[in-house]
Amino acid sequence: MILEVKARILAAAFHVLGLKSKDDKPLHYPFPEDLPNWNKLQRLQFLHKAAGMIVDEIVIDEAMMNGSLQELVSAEERREIQRHLDVNEDGRFPCRFPGCNTSFKYNGKSRRRHELSHDPPVVIEVTTTTSPTTTDQAPKSSDDVFNYNAALLSEGLFFINFLDAVSEGDGKRIMRQYKYLMLLCKADDPHSTKYALESLYQLLLVNGLSQKESEMFVWNRSVNNHGGLGNNIPHDLEVEHSNNFNKQGYCNIGANLSEKAVTRICYAEKPVRTISGKMDKLLQRFVRSGKHIQRFPVVDLDVLLKKTKRK
């Protein structure tokens, strides 16, 4: 996916900046003559301006964003109006069959199921309101290929930005990504409701905890085991690495596996990994890193413990 996004970024840069090949100079955003004499900050600002041109023209569609916001607001207004229709004095929704005194707390599936159980069933006419902006305008022909690539660029850049925030250990940027992720998951309702709630829960922790606890929560999102910039990994990946390392000890024990032995292996994990890493460094042993793979058979710890207790 990252390769596909990078390929489209290059194609967008060629289109917006006016490039025909890698050796050409941009026609729509020419290089200044004194560019080699600029300092690093000035060059970076020049690069950011060029990137902003690409994002504004290809990635961000203001008409589509404004239409989506307007549609979202109108849908919320319709739901709010429907929510307050036919409410009795107690604030409950009564059954709309003549002579039935049953009422419901919510205007949902239970109310509709009850109304359909009557003979004859209650038939509700659904009235829809359309905004004048959508009725007056003629339907425009859309370019599906362009829309697909623009959407892939938008979501792909968001994904790459999220990975970069984790690699740099930038807790505040990760929290900003979760805000946008919450909106994406909410739009994918009901398939991603739990992810939207999890994103909302994290934002509540950031703003609801004490200042000290909030700072710990924001900046404790990743771990750096090797030092240096851009070498952070997520905590859940670190846990997977820890589980994989401990499983090696479980496999080496064999039939002597017991709860006490497992506890000792877990407590000794950090010093053993430190000693092994220093020995590999002294012996100049090459250790492959960067991929999460299963090098040992999966061990069901509970099953092995039961077998040892039986023996």
Report the amino acid identity of residue 46.
Answer: F
pLDDT given at position 70: 63
Q: C-alpha distances in angstroms, 41 versus 25, 29, 45, 164?
A: 21, 18, 6, 20
Largest CA distance in the chain: 88
CB 93 within 8 A of CB 86: yes
Other CB atoms within a 10 A radius of the CB of residue 166 amount to 21
**Across residues 244-264, what is the average pLDDT?**
85
Residue 183 has pLDDT above 80, yes or no: yes
- State the Cα torsion 33-34-39-41 to the nearest 10°: -40
**pLDDT for residue 302 is more than 70:** no
What pLDDT digit, counting tens, does each position of 146-168 carry?
Answer: 888 888 888 888 899 999 999 99
The average pLDDT across 113-140 equals 63
What is the reported pLDDT for 67? 59
Categorize the per-residue pLDDT at 131 as very low, low, confident or very high, splitting at 50, 70 and 90: very low
- pLDDT top residue among 108 and 211: 211
Q: Evaluate the omega torsion of the peptide bond into residue 120 and state whether it is cis, within 30 degrees of 0.
A: yes
User: How far apart, in whole angstroms, are the C-alpha atoms of residue 305 and residue 256?
Assistant: 10
Q: Residue 218 in contact with residue 179, Cβ under 8 Å?
A: no
- Distances from the Cα of 287 to the Cαs of 232, 237, 301, in angstroms? 18, 18, 27
Confidence (pLDDT) at 213: 92
Q: What is the pLDDT of residue 109?
A: 82
Against a cut of 0.75, is the pTM above it? no
Task: Read off the pLDDT of each residue in 121-145 and give the average, rounded to a whole number.
Answer: 58
Average pLDDT estimate for 179-195: 84
CA nearest 75: which of 177, 187, 241? 187
pLDDT band at residue 132 under the 50/70/90 scheme:
very low
Does the pLDDT at position 4 exceed 80?
yes
The Cα–Cα gap between 157 and 151 comes to 10
**What is the DSSP code string of 54-120?**
HIIIII--HHHHHHHHHHHHHHHHHHHHHHTTT--TTS-EE--STT---EESSSSHHHHHHHHTSSS
Closest CA to 220 of 208, 234, 237: 234
> What is the spatial distance between Cα 285 and Cα 2, in angstroms, rounded to a whole number?
31
Nearest residue to 131 via CA among 184, 85, 69: 69
Angle at 201 between CA 200 and CA 202, to 5 degrees: 90
User: Side-chain half-sphere of 155: how many Cα atoms within 13 Å?
Assistant: 11
The percent of residues in the chain predicted with pLDDT above 70, rounded, is: 78
β-strand partners of 104:
93
As a whole number, mean pLDDT of residues 190-202 equals 88
Residue by residue, DSSP assigns 176-206 as HHHHHHHHHHHHTTTTTHHHHHHHHHHHHHH
Q: What is the mean pLDDT of the chain?
A: 79
pLDDT tens, residue by residue, 34-78? 888 889 898 899 889 888 888 888 877 666 556 555 665 666 566
| 136 vs 28: which has the higher pLDDT | 28
- Look up residue 132 and give its two tokens: 């004048």
- State the pLDDT confidence band at 117, using cuts at 50, 70 and 90: confident
